[in-house]
Structure 1
């Protein structure tokens, strides 16, 4: 049965799905920006300019943090930024598909987002357990809530579609 725009307008979870879609699109935008920066830093000259700028940044209170960042960047090297850019773009495509599909009210997008988000939960759990941070914990809890919510919505949507199909066939 084709999805109609009237069914989308009457969808009781439309606002929740829009919030999740906007969240996915924000993640997509951030990842595209990270990829652009990473591809820019893969050039030795750009990388060396960033390191030079960080070394000469006039910050008195955070100089310890600055030197750790400079050291980490030097150890990391410019060549690894291509990999970061590629991974960032891959995730951007995934999150973009989720966000656009949800904004368009596509039923498949609900399950696509459930599968994609669920697949990342073990990695997020590992990160929280091994390198605790409030941001990682918030992301983990947020993604668990999104998965539970979308499963409930998708199951309700499926049931509603069955009822709607039965009423139209009579």
Structure 2
């Protein structure tokens, strides 16, 4: 005997809410990145950051700090406006996905599948190009989200007035 559609939707409510919270956390993080980027756009803030990084009295065995200083100097403060705008755009996409999933909207399931699935090839390339366990975890997590949401989105949904 098959379960009624309302029972199936109730089962998936927890999973959708969990994904929505994940999307909200990513959105909040990107908003913080955007705020920092917009702050670094100002020449004096950028110069202050460079000064602090160059004069930290930390032991830097692997040279990470100096690579960061070099990268930031190559970019200059003008690149941070673009970084802030891109971060806000992604934050808006993640917020839209998360809100729609939280409200259990059918369109949000497909929107999240398309948005998340479209980034999987880039994540795969980046993971194989410069492997890290964090990248692998994000890659596996995003594939799991896509598979889970495709399965839910293909099930019949009850139309709510």
**TM-score, normalization by structure 2:** 0.89
Distance in 2 between residues matched to 1:116 and 1:31, nearest whole Å: 16
Report what 2:116 is aligned to.
117
Distance in 2 between residues matched to 1:37 and 1:8, nearest whole Å: 45
Runs of 4+ in 1 over 3 A off after TM superposition: 7-10
Report what 1:15 is aligned to.
14
Name structure 2 gaps, 5 residues minimum. 1-5
Aligned-pair RMSD on alpha carbons? 2.1
Worse-matched range after superposition: 117-126 or 62-71: 62-71
Distance in 2 between residues matched to 1:20 and 1:8, nearest whole Å: 19
Name structure 1 gaps, 5 residues minimum. 1-6, 165-170
How many residues align? The count is: 155
Report what 2:136 is aligned to.
137
Distance in 1 between residues matched to 2:129 and 2:39, nearest whole Å: 31
Q: Could you list the per-position Cα deviations for residues 64-108 of structure 1 after superposition, in whole angstroms to 9, with x for gaps in the alignment? A: 221121111111211111111111011000000000111111111
Q: Identify which of structures 1 and 2 has the higher relative contact order when contacts are C-alpha pairs closer than 8 Å and 6+ apart.
A: 2
Q: Are 1:149 and 2:148 matched, yes or no? A: yes
Structure with the larger helix share: 1
Partner SS, residue 58 of structure 1: coil
Distance in 2 between residues matched to 1:82 and 1:8, nearest whole Å: 47
Distance in 1 between residues matched to 2:76 and 2:7, nearest whole Å: 49
Q: Tell which structure's C-alpha radius of gyration is larger.
A: 1
**TM-score, normalization by structure 1:** 0.85
Contact 1:8–1:14, Cα closer than 8 Å, also in 2? no
